[in-house]
């Protein structure tokens, strides 16, 4: 079977219709485009507006929708679809499918399709166990329809038994398994990334900063989004465009970066400190421009707090990843840094090669040893690093 990129999600009338919202969110995160079609009864349980917001596409509910190109929605909507999933599928809708009825948009679409049809039944246990529904379920299987669920458990009516719709995560897993498709490696994971330099003010017009371009951190943000993650990017000043799908917080100083990280670290699964955080800041930045004189100027510097070490020391830290840019003894210094900051993984590179460059080499150090990612673009390195992280957290 070909992989699934375009899905028509049919929603029929049942209390489980509310789960279609979460289901749509999961599909979209998986990179699947979702065209929602709702029956009239489904609109009594969840609004087309909600489904439109989550799918990012107009929701269709009627055969006679003027918005459809050639006035033949049953053809037009299924043309692009790799599959139709009806979730929840009511007992009535299953009966309609068995009979080949086509008296509304969704049933017509199912009859006119030339792609696989998957059905997730959801109903009260008596309705599910009724011989008529059981007959219909068997007939659908005989007709080549894939039945996903139902599950057993407590039902909306208060009874316990078979008939609950499968949970959205299980439906996604079943759909992907049907198409022999791997879930995205970071689907559903939250990733917090620091990127770029920090700027430590000396006076209103002068500052201490470094040559970090932010390219590595932004590439990691982009690759994490591609892999299905929800990304928060805390960035020092850069000339780069942040990926639109990331939540981006712009900061200047190390102190601001620390505050932004601590405000967003809750519920994160992964924290990747890529920023070149200034180790020191002026002890007392001047409110006024410091006047030039002939004598030596000494600026007292005090250390900045280590953001990565602080996150790693939280009672329930996310999976923490650091970067080590060294000019000598790369692996030795990087490993010392990994142990000192108490983090499971560090990515080491030669500072002079990596800073501002488009390509670089990365060596990943974890407690199994070192893994080299050969010289390539920062986006490809980011994908390699994130695949390594996904393997570590899934083990
Ligand atoms: O100790 P060093 O600065 O070399 O460590 C680099 C790693 O620590 C990077 O991942 C960097 O983002 C992080 N770091 C930090 N806060 C600091 C200094 C470094 O998060 N104040």
At residue 99, the pLDDT reads 97
At residue 191, the pLDDT reads 98
Are 224 and 191 spatial neighbours (Cβ–Cβ below 8 Å)? Answer: yes
Q: Which residue bears the tokens 């800041």?
A: 281
Determine the distance separating the centroid of ligand 1 and the alpha carbon of 212, expressed in angstroms.
Answer: 13
Give me the helices (H) in 179-291, please. Answer: 215-226, 254-264
pLDDT tens, residue by residue, 273-303? 999 999 999 999 999 999 999 999 999 999 9
Q: Which residue bears the tokens 């990733």?
A: 191
CA dihedral 181, 82, 52, 110 (to 10 degrees): -130
Backbone phi, psi, residue 321, to 5°? -130, 135
Q: Tell me the whole-structure pTM to 2 decimals.
A: 0.77
CATH topology of domain 190-284+300-394: Rossmann fold (3.40.50)
Q: Which of 197, 308, 350 to mutate to test the pocket of ligand 1 (most atoms within 8 A of CB)?
A: 308
Start-to-end C-alpha separation, the chain: 29
The residues near 151 (Cβ < 8 Å, ≥ 6 apart) are 162, 164, 165, 166, 167, 170
Are 29 and 47 spatial neighbours (Cβ–Cβ below 8 Å)? Answer: no
Determine the distance separating the centroid of ligand 1 and the alpha carbon of 378, expressed in angstroms.
Answer: 19
Q: Which of 192, 212, 273 to mutate to test the pocket of ligand 1 (most atoms within 8 A of CB)?
A: 273
Q: Does domain 6-179 have CATH number 3.10.129.10?
A: no
Known catalytic residue at 320: no
At residue 354, the pLDDT reads 74
At residue 69, the pLDDT reads 61
Domain borders along the chain are 6-179, 190-284+300-394
Are 84 and 125 spatial neighbours (Cβ–Cβ below 8 Å)? Answer: no
pLDDT tens, residue by residue, 228-284? 899 999 999 999 999 999 999 999 999 999 999 999 999 999 999 999 999 999 999
User: Residue 139 and residue 269: Cα distance in Å, rounded?
Assistant: 44
pLDDT tens, residue by residue, 144-180? 999 999 999 887 778 888 999 999 999 999 999 988 8
Average pLDDT, consecutive stretches of 10 residues, N- to C-terminus, the chain (395 residues):
84 96 93 95 97 95 72 73 96 97 94 94 96 98 96 83 94 90 86 98 97 96 94 98 96 98 97 98 97 95 98 98 94 97 96 83 96 96 98 91
């Amino acid at each position: 079977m070909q992989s699934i990129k375009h899905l028509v999600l049919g929603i029929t009338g049942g209390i489980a219709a509310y789960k279609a919202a979460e289901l749509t969110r999961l599909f979209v995160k998986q990179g699947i485009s979702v065209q929602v079609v709702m029956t009239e009864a489904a609109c009594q349980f969840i609004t087309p507006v909600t489904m439109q917001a989550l799918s990012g596409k107009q929701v269709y509910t009627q055969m006679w929708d003027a918005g459809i190109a050639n006035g033949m929605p049953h053809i037009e909507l299924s043309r692009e679809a790799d599959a139709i999933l009806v979730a929840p599928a009511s007992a009535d809708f299953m009966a309609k499918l068995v009979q080949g009825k086509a008296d509304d948009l969704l049933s017509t679409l199912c009859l006119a399709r030339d792609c696989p049809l998957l059905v997730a039944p959801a109903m009260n246990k008596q309705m599910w166990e009724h011989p008529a529904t059981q007959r219909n379920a068997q007939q659908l299987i005989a007709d080549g329809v894939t039945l996903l669920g139902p599950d057993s458990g407590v039902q909306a009516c208060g009874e316990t038994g078979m008939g609950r719709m499968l949970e959205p995560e299980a439906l996604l897993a079943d759909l992907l398994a049907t198409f022999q498709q791997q879930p995205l490696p970071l689907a559903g994971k939250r990733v917090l990334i620091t990127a770029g330099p920090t700027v430590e003010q000396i006076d209103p017009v002068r500052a201490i900063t470094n040559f970090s371009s932010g390219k590595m951190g932004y590439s990691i943000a982009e690759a994490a989004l591609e892999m299905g993650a929800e990304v928060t990017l805390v960035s020092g000043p850069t000339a780069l465009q942040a990926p639109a799908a990331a939540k981006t917080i712009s900061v200047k100083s190390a102190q601001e970066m620390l505050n932004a990280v601590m405000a967003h670290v809750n519920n994160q699964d992964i924290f990747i400190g890529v920023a070149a955080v200034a180790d020191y800041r002026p002890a007392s930045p001047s409110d006024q421009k410091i006047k030039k004189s002939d004598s030596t100027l000494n600026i007292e510097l005090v250390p900045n707090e280590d953001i990565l070490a602080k996150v790693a020391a939280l009672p329930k830290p996310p999976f923490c990843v650091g970067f080590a840019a060294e000019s000598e003894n790369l692996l030795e210094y990087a490993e010392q840094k990994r142990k000192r900051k108490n983090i499971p993984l560090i990515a080491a590179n030669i500072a002079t090669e990596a800073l501002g460059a488009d390509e670089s080499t990365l060596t990943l150090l974890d407690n199994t040893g070192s893994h080299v990612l050969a010289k390539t673009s920062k986006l490809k390195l980011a994908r390699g690093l994130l695949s390594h992280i996904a393997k570590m957290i899934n083990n």
